[in-house]
Amino acid sequence: MRIYIGFDDTDTLTAGRGTGKLARWFEQELPDGCRLWGVVRQQLLLDDAIPYTSHNSSACAVIECPGGMSLDVLSAKAAAHVENHFIPGSDPGLCVVQESDPVLPALISFGLLCVKRVVRQAEAMAAGNGHLSGLGGTNDGIIGAAAAVGLTAYGWSGRFIEFGELRKFPAAVSVEVLNRAGIHVVSVDRDAQALAPDDIVETNGWLRPRLWGGTPVLPVQPGEAGRWESLGKKRSNTNT
């Protein structure tokens, strides 16, 4: 059974770390029998009417658990995790939904709205239908938490900030090694050439696959013969 746990607005400008790290740290709190499949960062709308911290992103931890796992247990652990680690002055929110829940289509639609226009807490509550928790401040974090779950369940949005040994790969890694790790490498240049297993991907020390088709996909562009460059670079002020 797969469970989506959305976190948002748990930090401040001077915190030194962001919601992404809090979501990644939740792996240490998982009950026996559960494992972290991945954590996906979702980028929401940037607009002056939205009181976001720095980039208006939220994060969704995707957890794989035995079929009999109680959602209440994970919800309580996630809430306690936020309460232990959020930064005073922030407005943390939480959303916990299992993959078979009929509320997911509404959350997907809500998440897609959050990248297009300003939304309100009431809209999040209507979409979340009881799966949301405001844990401090204005409780505006329920908006991003709900959007994180919806967009991640949608399967075509966001980038992985945690997935297996993602953060331990060297700056140059073969396509075969990435494929074995469950990361699909795809050329996005004009010719869309197939990559050979022994081709090398230059990551510049920042490997962040996208969530495409519900799976980790690393878009690359051609460099020298047999070598490719992954798209995207690390922001100097990222806290994830």
* Percent of the chain surpassing pLDDT 70: 93
Q: Is the dihedral of CA 227, 231, 236, 239 positive or negative?
A: negative
pLDDT in tens, 132-141: 999 988 999 9
Choose the most confident range, by mean pLDDT, from 14-23, 47-56, 135-144: 135-144
Whole-number pLDDT of residue 146: 97
Tokens 């746990």: give the residue.
Answer: 5
| Range with lowest mean pLDDT among 15-24, 130-139, 174-183 | 15-24
Binned at pLDDT 50, 70 and 90, residue 48 comes out as confident
How far is Cα 7 from Cα 23, in angstroms, rounded to an integer? 7
pTM above 0.85, yes or no: yes
- The encoded tokens of residue 14 equal 């001077």
| Mean pLDDT, all residues of the chain | 92
Mean pLDDT, residues 28-38 = 95
Q: Is the pLDDT of residue 50 over 80?
A: no
Q: Which residues contact 86 (CB under 8 A, 6 or more apart)?
A: 10, 11, 22, 92, 135, 136
- The encoded tokens of residue 105 equal 């289509």
Whole-number pLDDT of residue 15: 64
Ordered by where they begin, the domains of the chain are 2-159 (3.30.70.2200), 168-230 (no CATH)
Pick the residue with more confidence: 49 or 104? 104
Half-sphere exposure of 113 (CA within 13 A, CB side): 17
Mean pLDDT, residues 27-48 = 93
How far is Cα 137 from Cα 208, in angstroms, rounded to an integer? 31
